[in-house]
Amino acid sequence: MRHEDTTEHVKMSQKSAKTWCLRLFPAFLFCVSFLTYYCSYGIHQSYGAAKPLNSSKSLCGGWLTQKKWESLNFNIGRQTRLFLKLDDFFWRERLSRLALPYGIKGSEQILMKVLAASARFPESDNVENLECRTCVVIGNGFSIKNTSLGSIINKYDVVFRLNDAPVRGYEDDVGNKTSMRLFYPESASSNPTLHNEPETLMVLVPFKLQDLRWLKEILYNEKRIRKGFWKPPPLIWLGDPSKIRVLDPHFLHQTAERLLHIPVHSSRQKPVHPTTGILAVFIALNYCDVVHIAGFGYPQSNNQKHPIHYYGYDTMRSMKNSYHDLNHEAVALKKLEDAGAILYLHPHL
């Protein structure tokens, strides 16, 4: 082959390669743009402001979910069973070393009667079978007032609510879906049907033996004993026995010990226990893939007349003699938020 022909062939090859590069360049730019958007979107999902729930599905099974577990360093799994079961006979297999609220030592006989009347009903597997569980914990704080989050809250797979916090009349801000409501006798509403759905699980958090005794008296229609409560609980409680569950004290123990670092063997005259709010957050971190919260935090104000709930008339003054360390819990929530384990649905301090 002549030198001129070789040169011409090289030029043609270079021209052809250049043409293909120009054709592939837009596709290359698209790939780079897509990867950049995907990464920035994931980071925004983890640390950004509130967004529609559908986008939270993208967090399941991704690196952000793994980051959550690594940041928490909890030896837990999403198949955790939350409630005590009569057929477990857990006290025979592993005797509890702690009494309520962190164990069941000394409460076995009453607990057996309560579970016999309430825990024999099968669990719904609608949530259990989900590949991704999106959960929101709704606190009772004033911060959720006028947020118009109701329609967003209703889209979560699991909605946790606390104590006797109302729903009717506040749907625009707090929604009306309730999957589980954590309560104890002093915080129980006499008629749970008013602010819960028929399928809502009413989850008793037993802080003391009297709490289990109260539920046993309700379930068996026995004479009510009112001693031992800091506030009179309802003498008549219209809860559906098939929807009553008793939370395993293990979760309160782990909330105190691993999340709040509260000594569970304290001999102080006035013990400090986790609130039902921080307990619900810990449960959600065990049970769910995505955990968002709203309505948490107390007003940063010296005004003792400032309302603390989105409902009712309780003020900061009512928290003066609380059995909870609210400042300590606020620090714990901040750490969870900074770690990307939880996300607030509204601005907060």
Distance between CA atoms of residues 277 and 324, nearest Å: 11
Parallel, antiparallel or unpaired: strands 244-246 and 290-294: unpaired
Among 36-45, 56-65, 118-127, 132-141, which is the least confidently predicted range?
A: 36-45
Spatial contact of 260 and 328, defined as CB atoms under 8 Å apart: yes
Kindly report the average pLDDT of the chain as a whole number.
80
User: What percent of the chain is modeled with pLDDT above 70?
Assistant: 69
232 phi and psi, to 5 degrees? -60, 120
What DSSP string describes 88-129?
A: G-HHHHS--SS-TTS--TT-HHHHHHHHHHHTTSPPP-TTTT
Half-sphere exposure of 285 (CA within 13 A, CB side): 31
- Largest Cα–Cα separation, the chain: 113
Confidence band, pLDDT 50/70/90 cuts, at residue 267: low
Q: Is the pLDDT of residue 56 over 80?
A: no
**Which tokens go with 75?**
């030896």
Q: What is the mean pLDDT of residues 69-88?
A: 69
- Phi-psi sector, 313: left (phi>0), alpha (psi -120 to 50), beta: alpha
- Residue 118: pLDDT band (50, 70, 90) is confident
Question: Is domain 52-344 in CATH 3.40.30.10, yes or no?
Answer: no
Report how far apart, in Å, the C-alpha atoms of 191 and of each of 43, 139, 232, 240, 244 are: 44, 20, 15, 10, 13
Q: What is the strand order of the sheet 134-138 is part of?
A: 244-246, 201-204, 180-183, 158-162, 134-138, 290-294, 343-344
Per-residue confidence (pLDDT) for residue 129, from 0 to 100: 78
pLDDT of residue 20: 47
Residue 243 has pLDDT above 50, yes or no: yes
Q: Which of 240-244, 306-310, 321-325 has the lowest mean pLDDT?
A: 321-325
